[in-house]
Structure 1
Amino acid sequence: MSAARFTNVAPNTQMTPQAPLRHPALPVPARRSAAGLVLGAATVATALMAGVFFSFDVAVMPGLGRGDDRTFIGAMQNINVAIENPVFFLAFFGALVLTAVAAFQQRRLGRRAVFGWALASVVLYVVALLVTMGANIPLNDELAKAGDPAHIRDLAAVRDKFENTWIALNMMRTAACTVAVGCLSRALFLHGRGDAGTGSR
Structure 2
Amino acid sequence: MAIISNGLLAGVFFAFTTAICPGLKRVDDLAYVQTFRAINAAILNGRFIGVFFFAPLSAIAYAALGIIGRDPAASAAGSVAALCALLSAAITAAANVPLNRRLDSAAIGSADNQAQARSRYEGSWNLWHQARTLASTAALITLTVPFFIG
TM category, shorter: over 0.9
Matched with 2:62 is 102
1:124-148 CA-partner distances (Å, limit 9, x unpaired): 111111110000000000001115x
Q: State how 1:168-179 maps to structure 2 within 5 Å.
A: 168-179=127-138
The ranges of structure 1 where at least 4 consecutive aligned residues each deviate by more than 2 angstroms after the TM superposition are 149-153, 187-190
- Paired residue for 2:120, among 156, 161, 168? 161
Q: How many residues align?
A: 150
1:151-182 CA-partner distances (Å, limit 9, x unpaired): 67521111101001111111111111111111
Paired-residue identity, %: 30
2-structure distance, mates of 1:188, 1:121 = 14
Matched with 1:25 is none
Matched with 1:130 is 90
What TM-score do the two structures reach when normalised by structure 1? Answer: 0.71
What amino acid is the match of 2:4? V
1-structure distance, mates of 2:147, 2:64 = 14
1-structure distance, mates of 2:91, 2:125 = 10
Kept in 1: contact 2:62–2:78 (CA 8 A): yes
1-structure distance, mates of 2:88, 2:57 = 14
Structure 1 unaligned blocks of 5 or more = 1-40, 194-201
Q: Bigger radius of gyration, 1 or 2?
A: 1
Kept in 1: contact 2:62–2:74 (CA 8 A): no
- Aligned-pair CA distance for 1:113: 2.1
1-structure distance, mates of 2:3, 2:117 = 37
Matched with 1:141 is 101
Is residue 77 of structure 1 aligned with residue 40 of structure 2? no
What TM-score do the two structures reach when normalised by structure 2? Answer: 0.94
What amino acid is the match of 2:132? R
The RMSD of aligned alpha carbons is 1.5
What amino acid is the match of 2:60? A
Matched with 1:27 is none
